[in-house]
């Protein structure tokens, strides 16, 4: 099933850093930024997370929830949150099932080598659970502001 603007966002159930089960439906009635990123503590992913952190008060004032998803485990996410003082929730998709559900798993290239991994994408989900916008291309440095311009 393709994920498109205007379609219902697929529900999911993933653990946060404390092992609590988090579902998209937990945030019904709120706008949600759901962003997928490749790996904790890598330069691009840190820049992207910090761009959300630096604009977080604006998100909070607008009542927007920010959720980050990668295949990293709870310990890795906790260290990432502590290191960069991230004020939002990171979720563990260890098996990559939600990444696949959101079409965020695929072929990538690094230093001329092709491999499969998480594709950096962000979904803006409205209060009714409908996908309002999809960022297929992300500028890690400005992403937090770029999202606010639309949401």
CB 22 within 8 A of CB 14: yes
Task: Compute the distance between CA of residue 105 and CA of residue 123 in angstroms, rounded to an integer.
Answer: 14
Strand partners, 52: none
Instruction: Locate all alpha helices (DSSP H) within the chain, ordered by sequence.
Output: 43-54, 56-61, 74-84, 97-101, 143-150
Stretch (H or E) spanning 23: strand 21-23
Which residues are marked as active site? Answer: 45
């Amino acid at each position: 099933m393709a994920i498109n603007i205007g379609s219902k966002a697929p529900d999911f159930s993933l653990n946060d850093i404390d092992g609590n089960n988090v579902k998209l439906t937990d945030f019904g009635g709120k706008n949600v930024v759901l962003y997928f990123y490749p790996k904790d503590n890598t330069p691009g992913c840190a820049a992207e997370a910090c761009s959300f952190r630096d604009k977080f008060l604006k998100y909070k004032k607008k009542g927007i929830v920010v959720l980050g998803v990668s295949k990293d485990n709870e310990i890795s996410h906790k260290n990432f949150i502590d290191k960069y003082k991230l004020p939002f929730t990171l979720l563990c998709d260890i098996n990559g099932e939600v990444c696949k559900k959101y079409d965020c798993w695929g072929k990538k290239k690094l230093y001329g080598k092709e491999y499969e991994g998480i594709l950096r994408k962000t979904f803006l989900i409205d209060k009714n659970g409908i996908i309002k916008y999809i960022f297929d291309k992300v500028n890690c440095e400005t992403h937090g502001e770029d999202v606010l311009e639309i949401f």
